[in-house]
Structures are given as structure tokens and as C-alpha cells.
Structure 1
Amino acid sequence: MNKTVLFPRQSLYLLLWKTVTMSTEELLSVDYEVYGKVQGVFFRKYTQSEGKKLGLVGWVQNTSAGTVQGQLQGPASKVRQMQEWLKTTGSPQSRIIKADFSNEKKIESMDFKDFRVVR
């Protein structure tokens, strides 16, 4: 019975902690483009999943040049984590040559509600 009582408290604590953390940390927006073998290897799906896991919002899409591009928004520390993931990890079958980041800016609020794959 204690487990039933503790679980909601723990969930509430985590929710409050996330809210406080997100509200005190500056928000960033940054555009990105990833080069290499990044199309046909589920790169967009993995990018969306990682972005959501980190609590980020934004979008990702393939380009006609064979790259993947998009925009990230969220707490600065999480944006930094995602930038590192885009430069070094990607999807299991991807081969990243480089990732460029541009238009980085502080924002007051996020422009997106979720992280989506644009087709």
C-alpha cells in the first residue's frame, strides 16, 4: 500500500522538479544540418525520439541534398546534449560526417508543442 502512495508523490516530485528546472534555465533555439549517411537509416525517427526523450521541441526533415536538417528548442543544457548527439551518435546505421549549427538564440517561449518529423 505504501508503494501506491509513494508512486504518485514521486511522480509529482519529478514533474515539479522538471517544471522548476525548465523554468529557471534559459531556453535556446538552434537550427541544424547533419551531413553523411543520414538518409534511409531512420535518422529522422531516432532524432525525434532523442529530442522527445530530452524534453525538446522542434522538427527534423530530409533535404534534397541528402542531408537532414531541423530546429531544436528547449532548455540550454538539453539543447547542448542534443547537439552532441547529432554530431556523434545519430541512428545506429548512420555515418555522420559533420553537423552544422546556426541561428542560435535565446528565446522566451518555445514555438512548437512537440518534436515532429516533417515530410
Structure 2
Amino acid sequence: MHRLQRMSSTATGLKSVDYEIFGNVQGVFFRKFTVDQAQKLGLVGWVKNTAEGTVTGQVQGSPDKINTMMDWLKSVGSPKSRIDQAHFFNTKDIPKLDFNDFVIRH
């Protein structure tokens, strides 16, 4: 039974991905739309503006939902944003979620 529990927690397949988005992504409600999209997908994590004019953050959840979110981050964003590049890094499997919700950090 103990072995099954370990397998099932691994089978949940939770992932964590850090991201940084480049382009016209500040002052265009990018963070608000990112929170809305992540919450629609049931993902957790955070988003914030950087001093360099980018938006950065971390997203955690199931791999299929994370892939959907990554596609959204690199190609959709907020209606008035312009996404030039999206970098995804520190992708890793995690045993449990580190956050309870998806929030804007300052």
C-alpha cells in the first residue's frame, strides 16, 4: 500500500515552471489577465513586473494545463500586450503544489 501511495503521488505528475515574458507587457493588464487565465486552468503560482520591463513568475500544476498556460503566455497575453519573447526555465517535477492560488506579487 505504501508503495502505491508513492506511485500515485508521482503519477499526479505535478510540474513547476518559471517564466519571463518580454515585449509590451507592463501597463497593459498583463498580470491581471495572467491571474485570470491561471485560475481558469486551476493552476497556482505568481506573476510580477520586473524593473527591466518584463513580466516574470512561476506556474505549478498538471503538465497539460501548464502547456496550455505556456502557449497562452507566449502567444495571447492581455488584449493590449505585445509579446516578443517568452522564456520558460527551471521546469521540474514536484511532489506537491507550493502555493494555494495564483497571485500578483509586487
Return the letter of the residue paired with 1:59.
W
Select 1:29's aligned residue among 16, 26, 29: 16
Separation (CA, whole Å) in 2 of partners of 1:28 and 1:77 = 10
State the structure with more CA Rg.
1
Q: Which runs of 5+ in 2 are unaligned?
A: 1-9
Please identify which structure carries the higher helix content. 1
Matched, 1:52 2:39: yes
Is the partner of 1:71 in helix, strand or coil?
A: strand
Number of residue pairs matched by the alignment: 97
Question: Superposition pairs for residues 49-88 of structure 1, below 5 Å?
Answer: 49-88=36-75
Say what the alpha-carbon RMSD is for the aligned residues. 1.1
Q: Deviations over 1:39-85 (max 9, x none)?
A: 00000000000000000000000000000000000000000000000
Is the partner of 1:48 in helix, strand or coil?
A: helix
Q: Greater relative contact order (Cα 8 A, min sep 6): structure 1 or 2?
A: 2
Separation (CA, whole Å) in 1 of partners of 2:25 and 2:53 = 7
Separation (CA, whole Å) in 2 of partners of 1:25 and 1:82 = 18
Task: Give the corresponding residue for 1:116.
Answer: 103
Runs of 4+ in 1 over 6 A off after TM superposition: none
- The Cα of 1:24 is off from its aligned counterpart by 4.9
Separation (CA, whole Å) in 1 of partners of 2:53 and 2:12 = 35
